[in-house]
Amino acid sequence: MWFSSGMQRAVWAVLLWPYLLTLCIPLVCKEEQGSLTRCPSISQEKLLDRVIQHAELIYRVSEESCSLFEEMFVPFPMRLQRNQAGYACITKELPIPSSKSEIQQMSDKWLLHSVLMLVRSWIEPLVYLQTTLDLYDDASEVLLNKTKWVSEKLLSLEQGVMVLIKKMLDEGMLPTTYSEQGLLHNDGQPEMLESVMRDYTLLSCFKKDAHKMETFLKLLKCRQTDIYNCA
Amino acid sequence: MALKFSYIGSKWICLLFYLILFTAMVPPRHPHLTGCVSTNLETFRCRWNVDYFQNLSQPGDLRLFYINNKPPHAPPKEWSECPHYSTDRPNECFFNENHTTVWAYYSVQLRSKDLAILYDENRFNVEDIVQPDPPVGLNWTLLNMSLTGAYYDIMLSWKPPRSADVEMGWMTLQYEIQYRSVTSELWEVVDLVKNTQRSIYGLQTNVNHEVRVRCKMHGGKEFGEFSNSVFVHISSKVSTFPVVALFIFGSLCLVAILMLVVISQQEKLMVILLPPVPGPKIRGIDPEILKKGKLRELTSILGAPPELRPELYNNDIEEQNDTLTDLDTDWLMDHSLSSNCSPLSVGFRDDDSGRASCCDPDLPSELEVSPFHPLTPTQILSKEPSCPAASEQSTLVQGSTGVEPLFVAPSREALYTQVSGVRSSGNVLLSPEVDKTTNEDSEKDMTEKEKEKKAFQLLVMNADDGGYTSELNAGNMSPRSSEGDMSERDMSDHSKAGEDLSSSPSPSPYYKSDTSSMSALAPVPVYTMVEGVDTQNSLLLTPNSTLAPQMINQKSVPTPDGYLAPDLLSSVTL
């Protein structure tokens, strides 16, 4: 009976329409740093807040890791000798301003791109750092967990910043034009102190850059809310 | 002796000498950097100290050089001198915004005027040396006060230091509050907060409190200076009534009340808490046996085949299912119908019967509706005669092979007699006939002889639905004068009860023959029902008080001790 089959289809359609809707409209993001395909529906302010939260956490954890590492491995006289010759920060070549006045003159686009650049340049070195830390005999569990956590969060931060760029600047997906600086090669078996100092430098540089990221993002937020006070 | 003293004395002198020499030889501390501090992440200042070299305290005597983002081993020309030697205080170098690079690595050196002597050097990142200025505008508001007026809560609020650019987000600060009562030396520290307000709970009234706050940068290591202290004081009239004493008194009263309740309700509580332990009991077995340790009887009962064991009755009143193990020794109590009950059934009482007394008026009605008991021909159970108050009952013992349960006829007066014994002939002697046993015996023997060849039949009184007139065909069993007994009893039932026996027609022929032998039975006979014989040839009488007429299972062959043999019993079928 054509009538009954038509009725059946109508009934099915009526029953299934919520599911169709959910397919069309993706669910609200629960995770802040979800991929672009999954979570396009989060608001910009909320996303920015969460990105800032992420950056704050990363900075704090990196600071804790640096202190832990310093206490555990770096002999006291050497503690101030970070950034000695040969152990410069890997990101020093990046054209990032480092005074408040300069930063205030940066545009939103510049800020966001700088953050993305920083994040991307640190993904690989952190992975490398994890492997070297595992080689230490008495690296504490806490330190290893912290560095692991940081490298994971860095990836989600990257995603969040990309989404933010897309939202705020209406740009498309950015290709990874920033070549990753592969300067951390393990040449042979370095001496213990050397490797310690190198890792120490790495950690302190990362801490610095994390602070940069956090500051840039905060400045960005300030501009969003109240452009007059933030200059 | 003198030598000894001199030796000790010289020792001390040497020691003293070395001490003086040592202190004299320590050179005075050269000028050193006391630290470089930034308050707002945009500028910083470095300070140094001259201890003993007072001649160097002139400005310009010591010079500070710094180098930025370069290793400190670079040649001196790359080093820059302090951009501004502070004027407001000596021995300080101030780096303003133009000379401050936040995420850069600074090396600072303190040198002499001619740059020849390097006194001290330091290396740092600017963000690591941040010590913010103290917060400003600390004040408090009262949140609430406790009921007793002894404690109160306050809300503290403050503002971030002006130098720190918090609005822009350039710096994120965390605050720490410390408070104490002015009398104590120890400061209470509250956890770090990011907001600019915090509540403090549980401050005491009439006590002066001092509160201060300081801050540090989020992720930074060092705190800035403390703000000025704020004093908090609230006075209240706290009632001098000691609250603690009140609580103790109240709890004591409560305990006393509880004790009173416990003591007054002691019995009930004892019952609840320590319920009485039931005596030893196995259903169907006389508890006296269990108590007095008559193991022989006990084992004989328990070892009997299941069909000979006393059945467990469903009658919830009938908890006195005891077996009459030895007719010679056990006696059924004689209960009159109208008399007051006396719980005299020795050995048949059940301690956990659940009844308040045996004179329960509901008993007969309950007994009337007692369920049927399956009865095998070999079983005769004696039931404890209870005290029927008014109602009657008749329990029909069925002689069939256990198919039909024991049937209780309603509206039948419960009549009992006492089985005084079993004669050697196998007759069950009932108490009214004790005096006339001899006479009756002769009579009954005559009747027996008359009816030798007649089948022995057990009389069954039918209830309304009839059909229970089952007859026990003993076959070889000769009718006993117990027939007459039975008939006599029946007649007495008739005479006493005056009610219709529902199935009177059936036993009537037997009555007729023995009417003559009926003699007035003086007391009201109380009957029980012999339901079977167990393996040890003892009659099992039903303890139920509802039997009229009773059935007696008689042996066909008189055995020497007067008991039915089991094999004979099995041949007796209903």
Q: How far is CA B413 from the centre of its chain?
A: 51
| Residue A187 in this model has a pLDDT that exceeds 70 | no
Cis peptide, bond prior to residue B549, ω within 30 of zero = yes
Nearest to B539 by CA among B345, B380, B331, B320: B380
Residues near B497 by beta carbon (within 8 Å), at least 6 away in sequence: B392, B412, B413, B415, B548
Q: In angstroms, rounded to a whole number, what is the distance separating the alpha carbons of residues B158 and B227?
A: 10
Residues near B430 by beta carbon (within 8 Å), at least 6 away in sequence: B417, B418, B419, B420, B485, B489, B525, B527
Question: Count of residues for chain B?
Answer: 574
Q: In angstroms, rounded to a whole number, what is the distance separating the alpha carbons of residues B441 and B433?
A: 10
- Sign of the C-alpha dihedral, residues B424, B428, B432, B438? negative
Between B156 and B548, name the one with better pLDDT: B156
Lowest mean pLDDT among A175-179, A189-193, B41-45: A175-179
Of chain B, the percentage scoring pLDDT greater than 90 comes to 14
Q: In angstroms, rounded to a whole number, what is the distance separating the alpha carbons of residues B155 and B574?
A: 99
Neighbours of A61 (CB within 10 A): 19
Q: Are B195 and B158 in contact (CB under 8 A)?
A: no
Put simply, the answer to whether A100 touches B165 (Cβ < 8 Å) is yes
Asked if the C-beta of B289 comes within 8 angstroms of chain A's C-beta atoms, the answer is no
Q: What residue ranges define each of the domains in chain B, with the CATH number in brackets?
A: 32-128 (2.60.40.10), 136-234 (2.60.40.10)
For B120-159, what is each residue's pLDDT tens digit?
Answer: 888 888 888 899 999 999 999 999 888 888 899 999 999 9
Put simply, the answer to whether A99 touches B102 (Cβ < 8 Å) is yes
Closest CA–CA distance from residue B192 to any residue of chain A (Å): 14
Instruction: For residue B128, give the chain A residue with the closest CA.
Output: A208
Closest CA–CA distance from residue A225 to any residue of chain B (Å): 10
How much is the pLDDT for B131? 93
* Angle ∠(A192,A197,A201) on CA atoms, nearest 5: 150
Nearest to B433 by CA among B491, B498, B520: B520
For B439-489, what is each residue's pLDDT tens digit?
Answer: 444 555 555 555 544 444 444 444 444 444 444 444 444 444 444 444 444
In the predicted model, what is the mean pLDDT of chain B? 67
Tell me the pairing of strands B173-181 and B188-189: antiparallel
Closest CA–CA distance from residue B11 to any residue of chain A (Å): 40
Asked if the C-beta of B57 comes within 8 angstroms of chain A's C-beta atoms, the answer is no
Nearest to B555 by CA among B401, B422, B430: B422
Put simply, the answer to whether B169 touches A222 (Cβ < 8 Å) is yes
Q: In angstroms, rounded to a whole number, what is the distance separating the alpha carbons of residues B554 and B572?
A: 9
| Residue B210 in this model has a pLDDT that exceeds 90 | yes
- Sign of the C-alpha dihedral, residues A111, A112, A113, A117? positive
B223: pLDDT confidence band, cut at 50, 70 and 90? very high
For A130-168, what is each residue's pLDDT tens digit?
Answer: 888 888 877 788 888 999 999 999 999 999 999 888 888
| Residue B177 in this model has a pLDDT that exceeds 90 | yes
Put simply, the answer to whether A82 touches B105 (Cβ < 8 Å) is yes
SS3 of B210-273: the string is EEEEEEEECCCCCECCCCCCEEECCCCCCCCCCHHHHHHHHHHHHHHHHHHHHHHCHHHHHHHH
How much is the pLDDT for B51? 74
Q: Strand pairing partners for B93?
A: B46, B85
How much is the pLDDT for A223? 86
Closest CA–CA distance from residue B169 to any residue of chain A (Å): 5
A110: pLDDT confidence band, cut at 50, 70 and 90? confident
How much is the pLDDT for A93? 66
Q: In angstroms, rounded to a whole number, what is the distance separating the alpha carbons of residues A170 and A164?
A: 9
What are the structure tokens assigned to B400, written together?
A: 């069939």
What are the structure tokens assigned to A138, written together?
A: 């008495």
What are the structure tokens assigned to B561, written together?
A: 């001790």
Of the candidates B41, B102, B168, the beta carbon closest to that of A222 is on B168
ipTM over 0.90 threshold: no
> Among B109, B162, B168, B192, which would you mutate to test the A interface (most chain A Cβ atoms within 10 Å of its Cβ)?
B168
Q: What is the DSSP string of chain A?
A: -HHHHHHHHHHHHHHHHHHHHHHHSPPPPSSTT--TTT---S-HHHHHHHHHHHHHHHHHHHHHHHHHHHHHHS-GGGTT-TT-TT---GGGGS----SHHHHHTS-HHHHHHHHHHHHHHHHHHHHHHHHHHHHSTT--HHHHHHHHHHHHHHHHHHHHHHHHHHHHH---PPP--S---------S---HHHHHHHHHHHHHHHHHHHHHHHHHHHHHHHHHH-TTT--
Instruction: For residue B126, give the chain A residue with the closest CA.
Output: A208
- pLDDT (average), residues B530-543: 77
For B261-317, what is each residue's pLDDT tens digit?
Answer: 988 888 888 888 888 888 777 777 666 766 666 677 767 777 767 666 555 544 444
Between B557 and B218, name the one with better pLDDT: B218
- pLDDT (average), residues B243-258: 91
B175: pLDDT confidence band, cut at 50, 70 and 90? very high
Put simply, the answer to whether A59 touches B124 (Cβ < 8 Å) is no
Q: Are B479 and B454 in contact (CB under 8 A)?
A: yes
Q: Which of residues 525-554 of B touch A (CB under 8 A)?
A: none
pTM: 0.52
What are the structure tokens assigned to B559, written together?
A: 């055995």
Q: Are B458 and B483 in contact (CB under 8 A)?
A: no
Q: Strand pairing partners for B94?
A: B45
Closest CA–CA distance from residue B41 to any residue of chain A (Å): 8
Q: Are B373 and B547 in contact (CB under 8 A)?
A: no
Q: Strand pairing partners for A152?
A: none
Of chain B, the percentage scoring pLDDT greater than 70 comes to 50
B224: pLDDT confidence band, cut at 50, 70 and 90? very high
Of the candidates B101, B218, B219, the beta carbon closest to that of A98 is on B101
How much is the pLDDT for B179? 93
Of the candidates B69, B101, B170, the beta carbon closest to that of A215 is on B170
- pLDDT (average), residues A41-52: 88
| Residue A182 in this model has a pLDDT that exceeds 80 | no
Asked if the C-beta of B92 comes within 8 angstroms of chain A's C-beta atoms, the answer is no
B401: pLDDT confidence band, cut at 50, 70 and 90? very low
Of the candidates B103, B169, B218, the beta carbon closest to that of A208 is on B103
Nearest to B372 by CA among B254, B512, B211, B531: B531
Put simply, the answer to whether A231 touches B168 (Cβ < 8 Å) is yes
Q: In angstroms, rounded to a whole number, what is the distance separating the alpha carbons of residues B38 and B102?
A: 10
- pLDDT (average), residues A198-217: 88
Q: Residue A179 carries which side chain, given as an amino acid letter? A: S
Strands, sheet with B197-204, edge to edge from the N-terminal-most edge strand: B136-145, B151-159, B197-204
Of the candidates B73, B167, B219, the beta carbon closest to that of A222 is on B167
